[in-house]
């Protein structure tokens, strides 16, 4: 067969296209282990939905995996983990890449789109205790206990909420972090996303889930995203059935909020969203690095999920997401909600807080 795509001849003589899913190489590296688990889970769902499709998994290493010893907020480039996988997508070496949505920038490079956002796992952050502290919580840990996190968002909120505790960077992938926690005496506890811990099979290490009053989550946290070539209509249609409408609407409002703030992964921005009936609620906040300055607000909008889907044949993209099987008026409302909330915070001085946070972090 000619052309960029590979085909396979079935036993019955039919010729069908081979769909390749890119993932990060599974060296001893745990972030890529998570990537592999996430890819396999989406591959499993696709195989159930399309038993006749030939799915292949292609593993490659990325720059992000090679410099894991640097805190993510210092690497600076949000698309670090995704760039090499996108190159492979562009070269037609793979057709589908699965990511944690929270690692995908709010503007994707031209030619790429998020063709599916799957049902969100628990989006909250979780406390993982040193075994010697079993039974304790962030409230009951001894004063000056050291908590490991290199997320500016987590540190900012938790410093304010638990001033008796101390916060220090912890580097490395998930495996390394758990090892550093358990085998040394440097940290009393570390903070990680509940969703990642669950996918890695470490749910039993979660001692406390942090609610919004303690720590709001990152934009897109807990949701998986399927990235594809924007022009590949066949693949777009194939993966679109994976979209989970409530999650799509929540994440579009969150991403629109972050985009309008011009935030990246190196600024302390946090959100909380809920869909109740036909209402979408978005709480968003920006923080100074020590959490002392905080601007936070909640807004809501009606999202008519049961509405007709995109009337026009034209592809409609919202903050990088193509969801032609979700009501376009609901998608517009979700995106506007995020922008409106960001504008409200910008009017109150969010830009100054973020600019200062960015400068201080760069200088560290």
- Residues that bind ligand DPM in the complex, under the rule CB under 6 A: 72, 100, 102-103, 149-151, 153-154, 192-193, 195-196, 218, 221-222, 265
Q: Which of 258, 256, 276 is nearest to 335 (CA)?
A: 256
Cβ 60 to ligand DPM shortest distance, Å: 18
Cβ 100 to ligand DPM shortest distance, Å: 3
Cβ 265 to ligand DPM shortest distance, Å: 4
CA–CA distance, 295 with 156 (Å, rounded to integer): 12
CA distances from 47 to 43, 200, 207, 303, 316 (A): 6, 21, 35, 31, 27
Cβ 6 to ligand DPM shortest distance, Å: 30
Cβ 171 to ligand DPM shortest distance, Å: 8
> Closer CB to ligand DPM, residue 127 or residue 330?
127
The pairing of strands 166-168 and 146-148 is parallel
> Closer CB to ligand DPM, residue 84 or residue 232?
84
Cβ 18 to ligand DPM shortest distance, Å: 28
> Closer CB to ligand DPM, residue 56 or residue 77?
77
Burial bucket for residue 132 (CB in 10 Å: 0-12, 13-18, 19+):
exposed
DSSP result, 41-104: HHHHHHHHH-TTSEEEEEEE--HHHHTTTS-HHHH--TTHHHHHHHHHHHTTS-SEEEEEGGGS
CB atoms within 10 A of CB 229: 19
DSSP result, 279-335: EEEEEEEEE-TTSSSEEEEEEEEE--TTSPP--SSS--EETTEE-TTS-HHHHHHHH
CB atoms within 10 A of CB 4: 9
Residues catalogued as catalytic: 103
CA–CA distance, 107 with 103 (Å, rounded to integer): 12
CB atoms within 10 A of CB 150: 20
> Closer CB to ligand DPM, residue 210 or residue 239?
210
Q: In what order do the strands lie in the sheet with 269-276?
A: 269-276, 279-287, 294-302
CB atoms within 10 A of CB 243: 21
DSSP at 187: -
Cβ 341 to ligand DPM shortest distance, Å: 18
> Closer CB to ligand DPM, residue 33 or residue 150?
150
> Closer CB to ligand DPM, residue 199 or residue 301?
199
Element (H, E) at 124: none
The phi and psi torsions of 201 (rounded to 5 degrees) equal 85, 20
> Closer CB to ligand DPM, residue 145 or residue 149?
149
């Amino acid at each position: 067969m000619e052309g960029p795509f590979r085909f396979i001849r079935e036993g019955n003589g039919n010729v069908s296209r081979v769909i390749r899913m890119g993932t990060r190489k599974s060296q001893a590296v745990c972030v890529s282990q998570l990537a592999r688990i996430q890819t396999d889970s989406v591959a499993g769902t696709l195989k159930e939905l399309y038993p006749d499709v030939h799915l292949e998994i292609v593993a490659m290493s990325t720059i992000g995996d090679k410099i894991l010893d640097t805190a993510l907020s210092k690497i600076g480039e949000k698309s670090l983990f995704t760039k090499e996988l996108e190159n492979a997508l562009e070269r037609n070496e793979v057709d589908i890449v699965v990511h944690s949505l929270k690692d995908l920038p709010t503007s994707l490079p031209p030619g790429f789109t998020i063709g599916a956002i799957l049902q969100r796992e628990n989006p909250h952050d979780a406390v993982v205790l040193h075994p010697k502290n079993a039974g304790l919580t962030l409230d009951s840990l001894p004063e000056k206990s050291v908590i490991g996190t290199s997320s500016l968002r987590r540190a900012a909120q938790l410093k304010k909420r638990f001033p008796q505790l101390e916060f220090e960077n912890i580097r490395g992938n998930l495996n390394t972090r758990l090892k550093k926690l358990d085998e040394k005496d440097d940290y009393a506890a570390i903070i990680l996303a509940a969703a990642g811990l669950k996918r890695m099979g470490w749910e039993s290490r979660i001692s406390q889930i942090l609610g919004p009053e303690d720590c709001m989550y990152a934009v897109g946290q807990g949701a998986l995203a399927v990235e594809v070539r924007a022009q590949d209509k066949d693949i777009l249609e194939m993966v679109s059935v994976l979209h989970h409408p409530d999650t799509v609407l929540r994440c579009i409002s969150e991403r629109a909020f972050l985009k309008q703030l011009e935030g990246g992964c190196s600024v302390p921005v946090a959100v909380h969203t809920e869909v109740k009936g036909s209402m979408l609620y978005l709480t968003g906040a920006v923080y100074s690095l020590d959490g002392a300055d905080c601007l936070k607000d909640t807004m809501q909008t009606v999202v008519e999920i049961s509405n007709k889907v995109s009337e026009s044949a034209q592809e409609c993209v919202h903050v990088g997401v193509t969801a032609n099987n979700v009501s376009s008026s609901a998608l517009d409302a979700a995106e506007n909600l995020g922008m409106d909330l960001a504008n409200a915070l910008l009017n109150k001085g969010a830009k100054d807080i973020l600019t200062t946070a960015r400068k201080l972090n760069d200088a560290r």
